[in-house]
A and B are shown apart, each in its own frame.
Chain A
Amino acid sequence: MFLVWPALKGFYMSLHNWDPFVPSESEFIGLDNYIELFNDPVFWDAMKGTIYFVALSVPLLVIVGLGLALGVNKNVKGKRVLRAIYFSPYILTVAVVTLIWSEVYSESYGLINHYLGYVMSDPPGWLTSTELAMPALAFMTVWWLVGFNFVIFLAARQSVPERLYEAARLDGASTWRAFKDVTLPQMRNSILFVVIIQFILQFQVFAQPFVLTTGGPRGSTDTLVYYLYRSAFSQHQYGYGAAIGYVLVMILVLIAIINFKVIGTND
């Protein structure tokens, strides 16, 4: 009831020029919203922005998460403290995260430019440059969310039987060889799980551009869900917003299918 009904209603809305006040009088327009969407340059810019954000954030979320997990799995000093530190940003809400990073990224008074000011006369505007804004949002997102992946990877690494590493050592395998032939295959399912989850989550990026850049400068941080929000809740085009939502769902289903196929062929 809480999933199927709204999903069906959303699809129904996407086929109408939706009137929120008298829904029964909404005009049926078939696939017009979808056709309009495919001819809408803002939609394509938002799509490009989303893909760019996913391409920047997902690999880093996986690689950094894995690196941190393997790092503290070793007998390093203070590893318990490190585990807590790596995980801690994940428990913050997006509002707190954006507040912290607005202080870090600010062009005129931010932490980064404060220190850069000692070595360069005109430090860049991290959130106000069309080239840097999206990478800045992606970096912030990695800092915020990598703790979740870290915990998954740490659990997966700890469940790899030590005897496999002993066997590898006896065979004279280098650290790299042990990583490639023991760690990676043993952790494959966890890695794929994280990759799928992160694809799905990062494709839905919304709060970072909404709060920090309002999609700017010049649309460089616009994303699909932010455009959906603007269409539905700011411009009151609910049918159009629902159509964007459905295209997004189809993309996510496609990504999930591709990823499951990868798991299937390897198992």
Chain B
Amino acid sequence: MTRDRISTKSRRRFIQSVGATGAVSLAGCTGGSSGYTISFWELFSGGEGPVMEDIVQKFNDEQPLDVDEEVKIDRQRTPWDQYYNNLYTTLAGGSGPDLAVMHAAYLRAWDDTIVPMDNYIDTEEIEGDYLDNHWDLVSVEDETRALPMDLHPVGMYYNKGIFEEAGLDPESPPTNWEEFQAAGNAIAEETDKSAFSQTPYNDGFGSWRTWSTLVKQQGGELFDSDWNPTFDGQAGQETSELFWDMTGDMEWSSQTTEADWGANAFENGNLGMTMNGTWYVATLEESDIDWGFFKPTIAPNKTQDQVWADGHTIVLPGNQNRSDEKSEIAAEVAHWLTTENPEWGARAGHLPAAADIRESDVFQNASFYDKTLSKYLEMAEDDMYFYHPKVPNGDPNSESWYQWLLDMWGHNYGSPQEALDDGVSEISNGLEE
């Protein structure tokens, strides 16, 4: 990669700013002849955190950019549950970092807080470096707002030992509702383990990933074109009843809202199946259980194969104090982070956005390539993914938006319909902000 990718538009503005303010602007806040320190905020924990730490270390050691100055990344990690609140507050204070990781779902609602990537890098030229579906993810209203880093859809993880104990073939996991139902019932009846948890974390957002996947597979729609919730249609009602029954009559799981219940149970070998994202592989690789993976296309009365996905992207947060030259360097750093690091797939388990990485040896030789990555790729090729909604307002990852799903799972409502009504009201209010 070279500086040629810096867009002519931004070059012009850069020259203007130098002309207007002289050498002072060149020095920037941390720039100048001594080099640049690019502050980079991220939210990766669990197995992903160390991978990102290594990638940043590699950048700082190798100085891979084709620029004269020394460029250093100063990484700051904030836990995921506080990350966006901190980021938003910092941005509101006008002192945001130079780069930040942002889920694609935020790119529309947060457009006031970020500078579109194509202001500082020639996106037409680098577009070909990324896979088409990832590029679509970062485009909002025909504007490239960020650079795509990965897709992280959900899949179904299962315990092979429990399958065996229940008399099931651990090498032939379910492929449809009939088989999934038979497997769940066998585990519930033949073993003292739980059959299924909607999300290992037992949280609202995790529940939504699974619930919305099942709704879409039954032909349901989540929102209309004006962003009114429509997820309470027939598919939504039936999926809600299924959730209710799984912890009720079917006895597939405890009727609990305890945080991390599924994670503890699955990682201790007490849970047969759970639905979670690509990232779960990093945790499971460190556990002792013999686990497998299958595509989560198992809804009853399925009419289409649809699976929830979102993706990490890298954005340029707005910052009035940052010089244009520094923004251009930051954009180059984002391009390097997203295109040169197959470890992000091979170790952290995600589907990297860069086209070359899919073909790379590092990626294809990942220890879990056959188990998860190859199946996630097949789903991508078959166009199965639907994206977490890029809502115009509010926080699409807010736990309070989806708390009703957890309380539905724990039977804290009188009926699944009551929970669903609460969900429509909560999300409608959140979108009206």
- CB-defined contacts of B413 to chain A, threshold 8 Å: 218
Contact pick for A108, options B256, B318, B406, CB 8 Å: B256
- Per DSSP, chain A at the interface is loop
Q: A216 near B406 (CB under 8 angstroms)?
A: yes
0/1 interface trace, chain B 372-408, chain A, CB 8 Å (1 if under): 0000000000000000000000110011100100110
The answer to whether A234 has its CB under 8 Å from any CB of chain B is yes
The answer to whether B2 has its CB under 8 Å from any CB of chain A is no
Contact pick for B257, options A216, A234, A236, A237, CB 8 Å: A216
Q: A214 near B399 (CB under 8 angstroms)?
A: yes
Q: Which residue on A lies nearest to B397, using beta carbons?
A: A234
The answer to whether A10 has its CB under 8 Å from any CB of chain B is no
Given contacts A214-B259, A217-B407, A235-B394, 16 further A-B contacts (CB under 8 A): A21-B91, A21-B113, A21-B318, A107-B254, A107-B258, A108-B254, A108-B264, A108-B265, A127-B258, A214-B203, A214-B403, A215-B403, A219-B403, A233-B88, A235-B433, A236-B88
0/1 interface trace, chain B 82-99, chain A, CB 8 Å (1 if under): 001100110110000000
Can you report 17 residue pairs joining A to B where beta carbons are below 8 Å apart? A21-B113, A102-B259, A107-B254, A107-B258, A108-B261, A125-B256, A128-B256, A214-B259, A217-B257, A217-B412, A218-B413, A233-B89, A234-B84, A234-B395, A234-B398, A235-B398, A235-B430
Residue among A20, A102, A127, A216 having the largest count of chain B Cβ atoms under 10 Å: A216
- Considering the chains assembled together, what is the distance between the CA atoms of A215 and B400 in angstroms? 9
- Considering the chains assembled together, what is the distance between the CA atoms of A236 and B403 in angstroms? 19
Interchain nearest-CB distance for A129 vs B (Å): 9
Residue among B88, B91, B112, B412 having the largest count of chain A Cβ atoms under 10 Å: B412
Interface size class of A (residues with CB under 8 A): 20 to 34
Interchain nearest-CB distance for A248 vs B (Å): 19
- The answer to whether A218 and B258 touch (CB under 8 A), given A21-B92, A233-B88, A235-B433, is no
By Cβ-Cβ distance, the 4 closest A-B pairs, closest first, are A20-B92, A218-B412, A233-B85, A218-B407
Interface size class of B (residues with CB under 8 A): 20 to 34
Within 4-53 of A, Cβ neighbours of B (below 8 Å) are at 20-21
Q: A21 near B256 (CB under 8 angstroms)?
A: no
Q: A21 near B112 (CB under 8 angstroms)?
A: yes
Q: Which residues of B contact A (CB under 8 A)?
A: 84-85, 88-89, 91-92, 112-113, 203, 254, 256-259, 261, 264-265, 318, 394-395, 398-400, 403, 406-407, 410, 412-413, 430, 433
Interchain nearest-CB distance for A113 vs B (Å): 11
- CB-defined contacts of B257 to chain A, threshold 8 Å: 125, 128, 216-217
The answer to whether A130 has its CB under 8 Å from any CB of chain B is yes
Q: A237 near B433 (CB under 8 angstroms)?
A: yes
- CB-defined contacts of A216 to chain B, threshold 8 Å: 257, 403, 406-407, 412
Interchain nearest-CB distance for B315 vs A (Å): 15
Q: B256 near A107 (CB under 8 angstroms)?
A: yes
Interchain nearest-CB distance for A133 vs B (Å): 10
Q: Which residue on A lies nearest to B110, using beta carbons?
A: A236
Interchain nearest-CB distance for B322 vs A (Å): 16
Contact pick for A217, options B91, B112, B400, B410, CB 8 Å: B410
The answer to whether A230 has its CB under 8 Å from any CB of chain B is yes
- Considering the chains assembled together, what is the distance between the CA atoms of A174 and B314 in angstroms? 75
Q: A130 near B412 (CB under 8 angstroms)?
A: yes
The answer to whether A260 has its CB under 8 Å from any CB of chain B is no
Within 58-108 of A, Cβ neighbours of B (below 8 Å) are at 102, 106-108
0/1 interface trace, chain A 231-261, chain B, CB 8 Å (1 if under): 0011111000000000000000000000000
The answer to whether A139 has its CB under 8 Å from any CB of chain B is no
Q: B400 near A234 (CB under 8 angstroms)?
A: yes
- Considering the chains assembled together, what is the distance between the CA atoms of A20 and B88 in angstroms? 9
Q: B258 near A125 (CB under 8 angstroms)?
A: yes
- CB-defined contacts of A234 to chain B, threshold 8 Å: 84-85, 395, 398, 400
- Considering the chains assembled together, what is the distance between the CA atoms of A21 and B92 in angstroms? 5
- CB-defined contacts of A108 to chain B, threshold 8 Å: 254, 256, 258, 261, 264-265
- CB-defined contacts of A102 to chain B, threshold 8 Å: 259
Q: Which residue on A lies nearest to B254, using beta carbons?
A: A108
- CB-defined contacts of A217 to chain B, threshold 8 Å: 257, 406-407, 410, 412
- CB-defined contacts of A109 to chain B, threshold 8 Å: 264
Within 184-238 of A, Cβ neighbours of B (below 8 Å) are at 214-219, 230, 233-237
- Considering the chains assembled together, what is the distance between the CA atoms of A106 and B395 in angstroms? 29
- Considering the chains assembled together, what is the distance between the CA atoms of A21 and B399 in angstroms? 24
Q: Which residue on A lies nearest to B109, using beta carbons?
A: A236
Residue among B256, B264, B395, B400 having the largest count of chain A Cβ atoms under 10 Å: B400
Q: Which residue on B lies nearest to A229, using beta carbons?
A: B85
Interchain nearest-CB distance for A185 vs B (Å): 48
- CB-defined contacts of B91 to chain A, threshold 8 Å: 21
- CB-defined contacts of B261 to chain A, threshold 8 Å: 107-108
- CB-defined contacts of B410 to chain A, threshold 8 Å: 128, 217
- CB-defined contacts of B256 to chain A, threshold 8 Å: 107-108, 125, 128
Interchain nearest-CB distance for B140 vs A (Å): 18
Residue among A128, A215, A219 having the largest count of chain B Cβ atoms under 10 Å: A128
- The answer to whether A235 and B395 touch (CB under 8 A), given A21-B112, A218-B412, is yes
Q: Which residue on B lies nearest to A238, using beta carbons?
A: B92
Q: B254 near A236 (CB under 8 angstroms)?
A: no
Q: Which residue on A lies nearest to B81, using beta carbons?
A: A214
Interchain nearest-CB distance for A230 vs B (Å): 6
- Considering the chains assembled together, what is the distance between the CA atoms of A21 and B265 in angstroms? 44
Q: A236 near B407 (CB under 8 angstroms)?
A: no
Q: Which residue on B lies nearest to A220, using beta carbons?
A: B412
- Considering the chains assembled together, what is the distance between the CA atoms of A237 and B406 in angstroms? 25
Q: Which residue on B lies nearest to A102, using beta carbons?
A: B259
Q: Which residue on A lies nearest to B89, using beta carbons?
A: A233
Within 144-202 of A, Cβ neighbours of B (below 8 Å) are at none
Interchain nearest-CB distance for A212 vs B (Å): 8
- CB-defined contacts of B400 to chain A, threshold 8 Å: 215, 230, 234
Q: Which residue on B lies nearest to A23, using beta carbons?
A: B92
- Considering the chains assembled together, what is the distance between the CA atoms of A236 and B265 in angstroms? 36
- CB-defined contacts of A230 to chain B, threshold 8 Å: 400
Q: Which residue on A lies nearest to B399, using beta carbons?
A: A214
- Considering the chains assembled together, what is the distance between the CA atoms of A217 and B395 in angstroms? 21
- Considering the chains assembled together, what is the distance between the CA atoms of A213 and B187 in angstroms? 30
Interchain nearest-CB distance for A84 vs B (Å): 33
Interchain nearest-CB distance for B109 vs A (Å): 9
Q: Which residue on B lies nearest to A105, using beta carbons?
A: B258
Interchain nearest-CB distance for B78 vs A (Å): 13
